[in-house]
Amino acid sequence: MTEPRKKITLPYLFEKVSKGEPITWLTCYDYPTAYLQEQAGIEMILVGDSLGMTMLGYDSTLPVTMDDMIRHTQAVRRGAPTAFLVGDMPYMTYQPSVETAIRSAGRFMAEAGCDAIKLEGGAAMADRIRGIVDSGIPAIGHLGLTPQSVSALGGFRVQGKSAELAKKIVDDAKKLEKAGAFAILFEMIPDRLCQLITERAENCIIMSLGSGPHAHGQLLIYHDMFGLYPKFKPKMAKVFGNAGEVILNGLKAYHDEVIGKQFPQPENWFTMKDEEYDELKKMLD
């Protein structure tokens, strides 16, 4: 039997960075998937507010509540006890004030067993990061395409393509790093911009989602990897297996076998002893 994995900690993540070993990070929203990700050795898990779209069927992440997040994050923690678990702060649970941000972050730690939280936004959110970190909670920033601001950003599109906008992202990253973020996720920025930021990071782990190979690690959305989100397939999402197709074929086969009376077969049901059955019949007569 293989030894259970040791808990993934912040020092472990920084050690990987210092050795030049990429960090693996995936989104996850439920117990069975968390169990599989833990078995596969995935080091970081993000319970993203993308669950609003992938699990709850909303058109955006905006309707997701803190209670939605806590319920899913607790399930993920039960399935992945040693992963470095990150709770994603949903819309308007940190934007209103530093105090709101600290209280929401505290819920992820106290109620769901998280190791860190993530929140979206640049310089304007630096004081939220500072407040959370000063409360003893590790915090991750999120720059580039930030889905909670998708309307202001003009849609799901690559960010920082011009030198001027790229410079703003570099400046925002420095502000978050100075505020105490131990990591920053860059979503959909050009690869060379992400490389420049990674080279300049002093004590901050740079993670990429569709931002190229030069970061310290990679994040993907689980549902995109396995064909489980039918509405949209972003370019950055490599499909590692079409679980959606496998499940759909299984569902159709089940439907056809029930209709065709091929399911169930004796191995799929339970029997009782003849004498018990006869006794039952007598009792009923």
In sequence order, the β-bridge partners of residue 144 are 187
Phi first, then psi: give them for residue 86, nearest 5 degrees: -115, 125
* Least gap, CB of 78 to ligand KIV (angstroms): 20
x-marked contacts with ligand KIV along 196-225 as a string, rule CB under 6 A: -------------x-----------x----
109 touching ligand KIV, by CB under 6 A: no
Is the alpha carbon torsion for 263, 267, 270, 276 positive or negative?
A: positive
Residue whose Cβ sits closest to ligand KIV:
48
Closer to ligand KIV at the Cβ: 5 or 74?
74
Closer to ligand KIV at the Cβ: 68 or 187?
187
Q: What is the DSSP string of 39-83?
A: HTT--EEEE-TTHHHHTT--SSSTT--HHHHHHHHHHHHHH-TTS
CB 235 within 8 A of CB 219: no
Among residue numbers 22 through 41, which ones bind ligand KIV (CB under 6 A)?
A: 27
* Least gap, CB of 8 to ligand KIV (angstroms): 18
x-marked contacts with ligand KIV along 56-95 as a string, rule CB under 6 A: -----x--------------------------x-------
Catalytic residue among 120, 187, 245, 257: 187
Is the alpha carbon torsion for 115, 70, 83, 52 positive or negative?
A: negative
Closer to ligand KIV at the Cβ: 55 or 102?
55
User: Is 276 designated active site?
Assistant: no
Of 47-55, 168-176, 195-203, 252-260, the window that binds ligand KIV (rule: CB under 6 A) is 47-55
Distances 166 to 117, 144, 172, 208 between C-alpha atoms, Å? 25, 9, 10, 15
Tell me how far apart the alpha carbons of residues 148 and 60 are, in angstroms, rounded to a whole number.
8
Please give the residue ranges that form the binding site for ligand KIV (CB under 6 A). Answer: 27, 46, 48-50, 61, 88, 147, 185, 187, 209, 221
> Which residues are catalytic, by number?
187
